[in-house]
Amino acid sequence: MKGGKGELYDHLKRQILTMELDPDEDLDEASLSEQYGLSRTPVREIFRRLQGEGYVDIRTNRGARVIPMNHATLRHFFLVAPMIYAAIGRLAARNFKAKQMLELQATQDRFRAASAAQDPLSLTLENNRFHEIIGEMSGNEYLQPSLGRLLIDHARIGHTFFRPRNNDMHERLGKSVAHHDSFIAAIAAHDEDAVVDLVFEHWELSRENMEMFIAPQALKADALVETPMQSMEKSS
């Protein structure tokens, strides 16, 4: 797609992956038509394409919304993600094409540059694309749709861990870059076992990061509240 349709498609995907659009948020067909200079028909075509890719849910007589993310979604995600990532990785090592390897390396170069620049948006999008390419390398028509759905929620659940806040997060980003380099080397060598080992190592790093987002450290309950005794001491 080119022009207004292509721009709308790309922007909606980016906004969903980076949580600029919240899970379950309604998409305003009329507003998007006006914003991108499109009639309703092409906007609906975009919605249907995004529905097919797992980004959007279209409800009869209620319009399109961003795909929800709830307790059941999170449970299912953490239950099956490593299994699917491992199967995809093993098949990628068997079936990759030379052109795909070049694209994977180019994506990794952009991911590395985004890490050095501490660019959260580019980190999210390039990381997502890196793993999408590995899915394409697998060439499996059953696993690829499942991977695509996992990657959407992977990006949404963990969208904050590409925002370096301390030295520990810088170290984690460095490990992510190193893992990607190792994925490229193992896939290029057709080393399925090494790829699977890397999948679980990379998953553990991602899981820890996502847990930080899902269960952040609690705020101090008394940070802004004076006790009756403190009030009496101040007045005395």
**Across 30-34, average pLDDT:** 93
User: Stretch 43-69: mean pLDDT, rounded?
Assistant: 93
Asked whether 132 and 53 are in contact (CB, 8 A), the reply is: no
Q: Domain 3-66 - what CATH class? A: mainly alpha
| Alpha-carbon distances, residue 55 vs 139, 152, 161, 204, 217 (angstroms) | 21, 7, 21, 25, 30
> Alpha carbon of 155 to those of 19, 69, 76: distances in Å?
9, 12, 15
Q: How far apart are CA 36 and CA 14, in angstroms?
A: 16
Fold: same for 3-66 and 71-214:
no
Please name the CATH architecture into which domain 71-214 falls: Up-down Bundle (1.20)
SS3 for 35-91 is: HHCCCHHHHHHHHHHHHHCCCEEEECCCEEEECCCCHHHHHHHHHHHHHHHHHHHHH
CB contact at 8 A, 8 and 55: no
Mean pLDDT of the region 46-69: 93
pLDDT digits (tens, 9 = 90+) for 170-190: 788 899 999 999 999 999 999
DSSP secondary-structure letter at 188?
A: H
What DSSP state is assigned to residue 23?
T
Domain boundaries, the chain: 3-66, 71-214
- Please give the average per-residue pLDDT across 20-32, as a whole number: 93
* Residue 156 pLDDT exceeds 90: no
For residue 213, pLDDT beyond 70: no
Averaged pLDDT of the chain: 87
> Taking the alpha carbons of 148, 54, 176, 207 in that order, is the dihedral positive or negative?
negative
Q: How many CB atoms lie within 10 A of CB 169?
A: 17
